[in-house]
Structure 1
Amino acid sequence: MEWKCKLCIVSADTRAQLFRHYRLKHSHYSRVSPLPCLHDSCICTFLSFNALKIHLSRFHRDVCRPSASHTAQAERAAFTCSVCNLKQPFSQETLFTHLRGHLKKRETITCPFKNCNYSTNVYSSFNTHKSRIHANSSDFSDEIVSTENATVNAADLDYEDNFLSQHADSFDNPEDDSVCDSSQLRAQLRHNLSSLFLKMQTVLHVSDMATQEIVDHLSQIFSLSQPLIRDTVKETLQRHDISITEATLNDLVNEVMNTNIFVSATTKGEEMSTKKRRKKFVEKNFPVVKPVQYELEPGCRVAYVPILQVIQEMFKHTDILERIKETKVSQKGHYTSHQDGLYFQKNNLLSSLELSLPIVLYIDDIEIANPLGTSRKIHKLCSVYWVLADLPLKYRSALHVIQLAAICKVPDVQKYGYKTVLRPLLQDLCTLEQDGVFIESLGQSVQGTVLCVVSDNLAAHALAGFMQSFRAGHICRFCNATRDQILSHEVGDGEFCLRTKASHDRNLLTVMQGDQSHSVVGVKGDCVLNESLRHFHTTTGFPPDILHDLFEGIVPVELALCIQEMIRLKYLTLEGLNRKIMSFQYENSDKVNRSRPISKTFARKRSIGGNGHENSTLLRLLPLMIGHTVPDGDGAWTILMDLKDIVELVLSPTFDDESIDYLKTKIQDHRRLLQEVFPEFRLLPKHHYLEHYPDLRRCFGPLVHLWTMRFEGKHRFFKRVIHDTQNFKNVVKTLATRHQHMVSYYLSAPSFFKPHQQASNVSSVLVSVLPDVAQQYIRQKTDSSVIYSTSNIILDGTMYDVGRFVSVGQEGGLPQFSRIEQILLVNSDVMFLCREHKSCYIEHLRSYKLYPGNLTVNNILELNDSLPLSAYHVEGQLLLTPKRYIQLNRK
């Protein structure tokens, strides 16, 4: 039987050989590229080499297969939980892990040992009782642990818990191993050591000074251990009646010391002994694209990372091309990616080629110093990132996939302009558009261009050449609306002329020929990308940003406005609302993104503040917190619920023409009700931008694919680097160099992206104890009497947990929901054993009331939406409020 590595093209004759290949080649990248199980039928992945080793010993025990007599009828132990009636193959570890899971939920359990009636719902009390009363006992109650006859394969038998300690080392047996050339092994170990140093610096953010301290102290420890090695070698030789001279013994000890890769590589004068030498070694042996630094004038520097070279290095990784091919155009009237948008389809370069490179740029300012300190704004930087648009969203949301293009100080941009600062980037983009970049794996050049520029409104207007004031004049880059006009006219009225390529070019020509100190319909000058690229235009290249328009714009303002009104009407008090916010039992990701208490000055500030995540969570969960205290038909409450509907629609990653029309109607109704309930309220420019969203969704595709949320997460890397280095001497070079070293670490990993499926903590389950509906499904897939179960699994970057809800099916045009009871792994398939819940939509709360039903089996393809949800018990009801609009699965 041939064993193949899932991370590279290597194959082996035995599992032991493949196991050692994992340990040598891939274990040091396990955090970046999780180690998959060696067996093709197992989907488990692991973040450490030791976890993989334990898994193989526990679930794939081929290395110590029992005799053939054990493959017939065998007595198998199983335990039955008295709390949830779960029946599962028995081992002490599995039993107590399951019982402690109930204790963590404060559920009462009974002691599983025979003739013991102790019960408790306190985790620590159970552990104390077990250690004091049943320390060495293995006599379990017959009601808890029983045996049954079953025909099982040898590999399915469950051995004693001490199997791991007895047989784990059998993987390391050098027998049946291919001979490895010592020079190749030495080179690989040196690569592993340099990879460790690179990881410490760029991923773990260990400072250079700390790294050098570690190297120096470890080298000293190894050096001081030489006498111990000498004594050990001498005693070993004497034990085998071998006598050698002192000179030979000393020479032998020196050779043993030199075989230690850490000692030989970090000895004074060697290639990894100092920071400078380690950097040189990395740049020579890793795919590092060095940033190019050029000076605008003495002291004014810009660091640029050559985009063409980065693309070439990225495509040397086979993962990139495979993932790009996953993006496909949807059927007419449906939108799932940028390729379904009108702007992509009308781009003569991108839409005409079988393979092209559409690039999404991002530009923003980043404050790397303490914003409250004396150095604020002194080191404020302008950063330009980019990402390949054809990568599916589930892959390009990873921060290491977002690449750095250029970085410089904001005062330099203000002084010299984008055209001067971004000159090298613009030159490379022109080359990419006209000649393309040679992709070695394809043996040809591939052309591409900038699809769009993602940014907040201020940066978009600055780069695009529009007015940067939003208090007066023409404030919209999509039409010719002025600040005063948006108060009395809607976009749907047809009063505003949309900006087109022809009209913008005419306005731009007027500006260039006239007095450039004034604007024409908001146009101040040309966009540098528009000047340089043939297939990019200002009017089609700057999409709106959901984060700044909604979650950091409209949502906090309208929340403040409506909460103030509800407090005035005495539906609630600020203190009561803050108590609800703090005491609410948040679940899963809502715990991380929970809102902070609202400030007492929110009415004066006309905003509740907070970041985008917090405002999104508060708007979504507010109906569950205070909805029962607000009467039906209240104007302020209806405004917030309509806004909630709009947010859900905008966040949807897939939609059709029908949902676009529905969004347009909701936005119009929301604006009119807002002006009716609060006639004194002055609409924000972002309210006007929101009215363009329906049409812009048809043009750009899903706007949630082009928001700034993930790009802003990239800032954290640079802030962390400055925090660790405290080096402001040449900050742009420091940041760009460190970033490129980080990218090289990920590019050198066996896989640039996370695997499609990730599960590690699995347990065996008897098929016979599963519900009939699950047994029927499993028997179609396998004849095994034992399968695996897990409490959580990651599919395409989304985590599914037992207890969470997924949307499956529909009834009467409403989505139905199911609670995940068990996640079962059948060969390489993932199935959810779910409890159906009938749903009833509560208009006042914009939430679904759930009623439990029958058990069903579902797979990922049957879900209406891939995002799992949490349900909350409120006022005796089980309520679920979605995070985004659920497009019903009509397959």
Structure 2
Amino acid sequence: MKHHIDMMDAGPDVNNEMNDAQKDRIINNNNSIEDMNDIEMANDDGYREHEEDDFDVNDVERAHSFDKRKAVSFIINLKEMHRIRETAAEDVASRVNNIVDSYINILKRRLYNYMQGLDNEIPEHTFNDLFHIELPFNGVVTAHERKKYIKENFLYVEPETVHVGQRLRVLRQRGHANLDVVRDTFIYIPLTESIEQLLQNKDILELVINQPTERNDRFYSDIQTGSVYCQNVHFQQNQIALPIVLYFDDVDICNPMSKRAGTHKIGLFYYSLGNLPVSYRSRLPAIRLLAVIKRNIMNKHNINVVLERIKKDLETLSTGITLNIHGNEYNIVGWCLCFVGDTLAAHEFGGFKTGVGFAFQKCRSCECTFNDMQENFEEHLFIERNLDRYDDQCYELSMAQTLSVRDVISRSYGINFRSLARDFPNFDLTQQIPYDIMHVIFEGVAVYEIKLVLKVLLDERFIVITEMNNLIENFSYGYANRSSQPTSIPAKVINGNETTLKQSASSMIVLMRLLPFFLIDKLNCPFNNQYIKFLIELCEITLILLSPIISYESVQMLRFMISSHLRQFKELFPDKNIIPKQHYLIHLPSTIEKFGALCNVWTMRFESKHNFVKERMAGCHNFKNIEKSISERFAMYECSLNLCDKHPLFNNDCMFGKTKPIHQIEYCKEKLESFFWY
């Protein structure tokens, strides 16, 4: 740059002596510098404006706006990502302001003294005007100020309060009892606005738009390979069609062992987009809050009050909406592909009996009775539920003249009420509520059957419970299983009437993988023992159900294995009943055909999202409007995700090194298919 200035000062004679090669080199250097500046601005975090060589007053205003956005982003990420309290966030903002102000004053005084030493008489008020810089957190220190700024400058989705009814409450003041009218409400996050906020991230938008279209009919993997998705013409005809996965569960935010347990139980509705690849869809930032409602309000008005609001957004989304994302307009449609949840939540969502023990028909997929469950172990032997029969049974339930007649009809059909999920566009609640293998297997069938087998082995003195527990506690678990290693099994659990082994679902997965090894190799149980074989068959069924990719032939084999397993159960334990969760096993192969691998539609990751609520409500002493507090924390958190330099959804991505292209594609496909085939 100095060389260029010297040449300009030398006058026109020097410029005329420059040859063409020198001119081209100078032009190329200038172009290279401009290109580098463009690259630096493109690699910035999205808030930086294009800069010019000359710095004017407008640049100061832009820089000030940039700092304010960065300051707000810093506080939001500090509060939501690192889970600090609001008082701590305000203290950080005010202290940073004080530190910055102190350094500005030091710099102003030193520069003023330096200029005075050069005999340059500059008025002090000029320096004060020059260093009159607004501090980074001015106007955004408190929660109210930050929220106002975020609403004006960021895409913040405001939680909506929905009124569903009212009740009377007794207020006691100064010895007098007065009646007060209290509104029953729940908090709802508008679905379309939440989706628009999520798709503001360019990487997520690219994943949603560029979804794979190839499908192998011989293998089931993600939900796009299931028949529910493939046979829906709307997903095939629209370029950007969102298959939405809904979830619901109850969470007790208080200590479950305290006397106030259950008082502040809340219901949480989440959703995720089925377009996202499995590796991203299972991450917590991809699971977003939809609604928060107190359990006692939902018990009073039932789940339909929430489903009605969800239905309204789904109807809007099914007709298509236009989203303006980064200056481009996208026409987006979407439908509810499935609802996932534990047995209680799934039955409540569909309007079925939550306590199946009191119902004559105990299954939401078929009209089986208790006696049928004990005798028939193949799916085709039961009458399948469908929407026509569901509508007829709900109509008969609504026409009951007395409560006693209604109760008899409700018990007979296993239906409590007509669910508004029946009116969701392109949704069949008798077919699109998959079974959750986490609750069916690891908190149901596996616990029930393993407990019976261990009791027999203890009674026949094949094993000793203390030796078994020593193996479980002292086994060298791998790195991936250390956080989920099983705990010892108390003897009173096996000999008593408890329905649990004191293990979590993740611990049950590890235990089932190692239990045959413990019994046969370590405890020297005979391999040909019929109870050991029965247990091994259960483990084999579980491994197939956990597979991320399942072939068509494996699904057919799974049907036979489940049927054989249930028959063997009745032979080995004739005095024990087939429980409903064991009956649900016969529906799992058809569920795989509808939705792909079951590990992609289970509730394991959704339940992990509950930790967000528990961590942020820990130490909370005010439960007056707890659902609003939770929804606002979620709204701020989901808004902060797009303020990060890198969206947390991609934090765990692996950066691969050099890759080599494959030219013999067909040969590689043939080898991979032959490997999985055999």
Q: Name the TM-score, length of structure 2 as normaliser.
A: 0.82
The amino acid that maps onto 1:589 is: A
Report which stretch shifted further, 229-238 or 211-220: 229-238
Q: Deviations over 1:712-743 (max 9, x none)?
A: 11111111221265442211111111111111
The amino acid that maps onto 1:613 is: S
> For 1:471, what is the secondary structure of its paired residue?
helix
Q: Who is 1:405 aligned against?
A: 290
Q: Deviations over 1:143-167 (max 9, x none)?
A: xxxxxxxxxxxxxxxxxxxxxxxxx
Give how far 1:273 is off: 2.5
Residue 505 (structure 2) aligned to one of 605, 612, 634:
612
> For 1:408, what is the secondary structure of its paired residue?
strand
Q: Deviations over 1:64-114 (max 9, x none)?
A: xxxxxxxxxxxxxxxxxxxxxxxxxxxxxxxxxxxxxxxxxxxxxxxxxxx
Q: Who is 1:394 aligned against?
A: 279
Q: Who is 2:658 aligned against?
A: 827
Contact 1:561 1:607 in 2 (8 A): no
Change (3 A) 1:548 1:24: closer
After TM superposition, list the pairs within 5 Å mapping 1:489-500 onto structure 2. Answer: 489-492=376-379, 494-500=380-386
Change (3 A) 1:179 1:576: farther
Does residue 521 of structure 1 match 2:408? Answer: no
Alpha-carbon separation, structure 1, partners of 2:88 and 2:425 = 49
> For 2:381, what is the secondary structure of its paired residue?
coil
Give how far 1:556 is off: 2.1
Give how far 1:322 is off: 2.0
Contact 1:558 1:607 in 2 (8 A): no
Residue 264 (structure 1) aligned to one of 131, 135, 153:
135
Contact 1:12 1:18 in 2 (8 A): no
Does residue 476 of structure 1 match 2:363? Answer: yes
Alpha-carbon separation, structure 1, partners of 2:54 and 2:619 = 44
Give how far 1:453 is off: 1.0
Residue 183 (structure 1) aligned to one of 56, 61, 70:
61
Residue 161 (structure 2) aligned to one of 281, 289, 293:
293
Residue 595 (structure 2) aligned to one of 693, 700, 711:
700
Residue 374 (structure 2) aligned to one of 487, 511, 523:
487
Alpha-carbon separation, structure 1, partners of 2:52 and 2:335 = 50
Alpha-carbon separation, structure 1, partners of 2:647 and 2:425 = 32
Q: Who is 1:646 aligned against?
A: 541
Alpha-carbon separation, structure 1, partners of 2:652 and 2:450 = 39
Does residue 674 of structure 1 match 2:577? Answer: no
Q: Who is 1:338 aligned against?
A: 223
After TM superposition, list the pairs within 5 Å mapping 1:575-586 onto structure 2. Answer: 575-586=466-477
Give how far 1:580 is off: 1.3
The amino acid that maps onto 1:522 is: G
Contact 1:675 1:681 in 2 (8 A): yes
Give how far 1:454 is off: 0.8
Q: Who is 1:61 aligned against?
A: none
> For 2:370, what is the secondary structure of its paired residue?
coil
Contact 2:377 2:567 in 1 (8 A): no
Q: Deviations over 1:794-851 (max 9, x none)?
A: 37xxxxxxxxxxxxxxxxxxxxxxxxxxxxx6535699xxxxxxxxxxxxxxxxxxxx
Change (3 A) 1:587 1:177: farther
Give how far 1:178 is off: 6.1
Q: Who is 2:639 aligned against?
A: 744
Q: Relative to total residues, which structure has the larger helix share, 1 or 2?
A: 2
Change (3 A) 1:345 1:525: farther
After TM superposition, list the pairs within 5 Å mapping 1:851-870 onto structure 2. Answer: none
Q: In percent, how many aligned pairs have the same letter?
A: 23
Change (3 A) 1:678 1:225: same
Alpha-carbon separation, structure 1, partners of 2:459 and 2:657 = 58
Q: Deviations over 1:404-427 (max 9, x none)?
A: 111110111111122224432221
Residue 187 (structure 2) aligned to one of 297, 303, 308:
303
Give how far 1:218 is off: 3.3
After TM superposition, list the pairs within 5 Å mapping 1:327-366 onto structure 2. Answer: 327-366=212-251
> For 1:443, what is the secondary structure of its paired residue?
strand
Q: Who is 1:94 aligned against?
A: none
Q: Who is 1:713 aligned against?
A: 608
Change (3 A) 1:235 1:673: farther
Report which stretch shifted further, 17-26 or 414-423: 17-26
Alpha-carbon separation, structure 1, partners of 2:637 and 2:265 = 22
Change (3 A) 1:244 1:572: farther
> For 2:413, what is the secondary structure of its paired residue?
coil
Q: Who is 1:233 aligned against?
A: 111
Q: Who is 1:281 aligned against?
A: 149
Give how far 1:216 is off: 2.8
Contact 2:285 2:649 in 1 (8 A): no
User: How many matched pairs?
Assistant: 607
Does residue 601 of structure 1 match 2:472? Answer: no
Extract unaligned runs of 5+ from structure 2.
Answer: 1-31, 167-181, 663-667
Q: Relative to total residues, which structure has the larger strand share, 1 or 2?
A: 1
Change (3 A) 1:698 1:264: same
Residue 516 (structure 2) aligned to one of 609, 623, 642:
623
Q: Who is 2:313 aligned against?
A: 428
Contact 1:319 1:753 in 2 (8 A): no
Residue 545 (structure 1) aligned to one of 427, 436, 441:
436
Q: Who is 1:723 aligned against?
A: 618
Q: Who is 1:218 aligned against?
A: 96
Change (3 A) 1:575 1:243: farther
Alpha-carbon separation, structure 2, partners of 1:230 and 1:453 = 62
Contact 1:407 1:732 in 2 (8 A): yes
Alpha-carbon separation, structure 2, partners of 1:310 and 1:536 = 21
Alpha-carbon separation, structure 1, partners of 2:46 and 2:240 = 33
Contact 2:245 2:340 in 1 (8 A): yes
Change (3 A) 1:412 1:402: same
Does residue 589 of structure 1 match 2:480? Answer: yes
Alpha-carbon separation, structure 2, partners of 1:26 and 1:864 = 49
Q: Who is 2:14 aligned against?
A: none
Q: Deviations over 1:477-527 (max 9, x none)?
A: 1111123321222124x4311112333333333323344332243233322
The amino acid that maps onto 1:349 is: H
Alpha-carbon separation, structure 1, partners of 2:574 and 2:36 = 74
Alpha-carbon separation, structure 2, partners of 1:190 and 1:611 = 46
Give how far 1:282 is off: 1.7
> For 1:711, what is the secondary structure of its paired residue?
helix
Alpha-carbon separation, structure 1, partners of 2:362 and 2:37 = 67
Give how far 1:752 is off: 4.1
Residue 507 (structure 1) aligned to one of 393, 399, 405:
393
Change (3 A) 1:331 1:230: closer
Alpha-carbon separation, structure 2, partners of 1:578 and 1:461 = 37
Alpha-carbon separation, structure 2, partners of 1:177 and 1:829 = 41
Q: Deviations over 1:623-672 (max 9, x none)?
A: 34343122111222222211111111111122221010111122122222
The amino acid that maps onto 1:540 is: Q
Contact 2:267 2:293 in 1 (8 A): yes
Q: Name the TM-score, length of structure 1 as normaliser.
A: 0.63
The amino acid that maps onto 2:338 is: C
Alpha-carbon separation, structure 1, partners of 2:499 and 2:424 = 42
Alpha-carbon separation, structure 2, partners of 1:581 and 1:22 = 51
Alpha-carbon separation, structure 1, partners of 2:281 and 2:558 = 27
Give how far 1:219 is off: 3.3
Residue 252 (structure 1) aligned to one of 121, 127, 145:
127
The amino acid that maps onto 1:241 is: L
Contact 1:17 1:177 in 2 (8 A): no
Change (3 A) 1:303 1:755: closer
Alpha-carbon separation, structure 1, partners of 2:203 and 2:479 = 31
Query: Which has the higher relative contact order, 1 or 2, with Cα contacts under 8 A spaced 6 or more apart?
Result: 2
Q: Who is 1:458 aligned against?
A: 344
The amino acid that maps onto 1:561 is: L
Contact 1:359 1:448 in 2 (8 A): yes
The amino acid that maps onto 1:305 is: I
